[in-house]
Amino acid sequence: MYKKHFNLNRNPFDLTPNPASFVPIKGHNDALTAIYHGVRQHKGFVVVVGEVGTGKTLLVRCLLDLLGRSRDIAYSYVVNGRLPEVEFLQYVLTDLGLPVAGRSKYELLLDFGHYLAERNARRMTTILIVDEAHLLSSEILEEIRLLSNLESNEDKLLQIVLVGQPELDEKLDSIEFRQLKQRIAVRTQLSGLTLIETRQYILQRLKQAGCPNGDTRLFPADTISTIHRVTQGLPRLVNLVCENALIEAYGVRAEFVTREIVQSVARQFRLDVEATSGARDLRLDPLDPELQSLLKILLEGYRNGRRAASDEDLAAFQEPER
């Protein structure tokens, strides 16, 4: 509804992870290159970790786009890691075009091994890509570890890409999965964008929607700084804030998005709570024994008619010299 008002030919901040909207932020570019080369050079195990909304699924879709251009590549793309083991195997094999009906797990694994060996002999690459891998059960992770054991004398037969939120790292750090962790050949991490990257991101997405290259009138520098602060540079939040800021700016027929509009959107979505209240810095950890003792001394001071704890009392809690 705001498109005409702002001279745009589509919504610039659509939330769908669409490769056509990919902005080549350095971290994303590096990650995509690392994953692509990892699978093309048959490194075996590739892991991509990133906070919620950093662009992992978009990256996977870009990867699939790239892989889809090569005839020597076949892949299975799994997004539902909550399947039971046999269903998981059936899903992967079906995705790769193998028959699964009426086959036991043993037969499925045998078929899969033959399929991979035969493709490898023809110098073809087979890839298993799991998005939302932090949700995988221990059983499926173990199954994936076993699949990663399939290798010829010189080569890994199956390339595996696991993509997930930081909980994936926690799982892989556990003793249970130390064998799997040791097999990771490429590991890459996505994080929030810096201020400069956030600017690049916003301007590029506006350009994709018909805004002239480098036109900063719609989102001036101070507006972008505020967006970066309230979103911590997380692309999904940047999209959410920019989209709603455009709607709000259109509502008041503003010529451009002001910092105040962004602040209002941030309040609406409660994004300003952590960033502006300083709550994180002031919050006392109730389990911290040192702080508990300090509080006790302060309270006792009040109870004894003193305005606060004495200097001697407080001196005991000064930071130890390093």
Ligand X SMILES: Nc1ncnc2c1ncn2[C@@H]1O[C@H](COP(=O)(O)OP(=O)(O)OP(=O)(O)O)[C@@H](O)[C@H]1O
State the binding partner of 27 from ligand X, Mg ion, none, CB within 5 to 8 A by kind: none
Shortest distance in whole angstroms from residue 129 CB to Mg ion: 12
State the binding partner of 12 from Mg ion, ligand X, none, CB within 5 to 8 A by kind: none
Complex with ligand X: residue 57 or 137, whichever CB lies closer? 57
Complex with Mg ion: residue 56 or 183, whichever CB lies closer? 56
Complex with ligand X: residue 90 or 188, whichever CB lies closer? 188
Shortest distance in whole angstroms from residue 202 CB to ligand X: 10
* Residue with the CB atom nearest ligand X in the bound state: 55
Longest alpha-carbon distance in the chain: 86
State the binding partner of 199 from ligand X, Mg ion, none, CB within 5 to 8 A by kind: none
Shortest distance in whole angstroms from residue 56 CB to Mg ion: 5
In the complex, the residues that contact Mg ion under the rule CB under 5 A are 56-57
Shortest distance in whole angstroms from residue 236 CB to Mg ion: 9
Complex with ligand X: residue 115 or 201, whichever CB lies closer? 201
Asked whether 100 and 93 are in contact (CB, 8 A), the reply is yes
14: nearest Cα among 254, 221, 230, 242: 242
Q: Which residue has the tokens 């991101």?
A: 201
Interacting residues of 74 by C-beta distance below 8 A, sequence separation 6+: 96, 97, 119, 124, 125, 126, 127
**Residues of 4-15 as b/e, b for ≥16 C-beta within 10 angstroms?**
eebebeebbbee
State the binding partner of 25 from Mg ion, ligand X, none, CB within 5 to 8 A by kind: ligand X
Q: How far apart are CA 262 and CA 267, in angstroms?
A: 9
Shortest distance in whole angstroms from residue 149 CB to ligand X: 28
Residue 298's Cβ-count burial label (10 Å; 0-12, 13-18, 19+) is middle
State the binding partner of 50 from ligand X, Mg ion, none, CB within 5 to 8 A by kind: ligand X
State the binding partner of 22 from Mg ion, ligand X, none, CB within 5 to 8 A by kind: ligand X
Complex with ligand X: residue 17 or 301, whichever CB lies closer? 17
Shortest distance in whole angstroms from residue 50 CB to Mg ion: 9
Query: Which pairing describes strands 159-164 and 125-130: parallel, antiparallel, or unpaired?
Result: parallel
Report the 3 state secondary structure along 81-110: CCCCHHHHHHHHHHHCCCCCCCCCHHHHHH
Neighbours of 292 (CB within 10 A): 13
Complex with ligand X: residue 137 or 200, whichever CB lies closer? 200
Phi-psi sector, 272: left (phi>0), alpha (psi -120 to 50), beta: alpha
Complex with ligand X: residue 171 or 183, whichever CB lies closer? 171
In the complex, the residues that contact ligand X under the rule CB under 6 A are 15, 17, 21-23, 25, 28, 50, 52-58, 165, 235-236, 239
Q: How far apart are CA 31 and CA 22, in angstroms?
A: 13
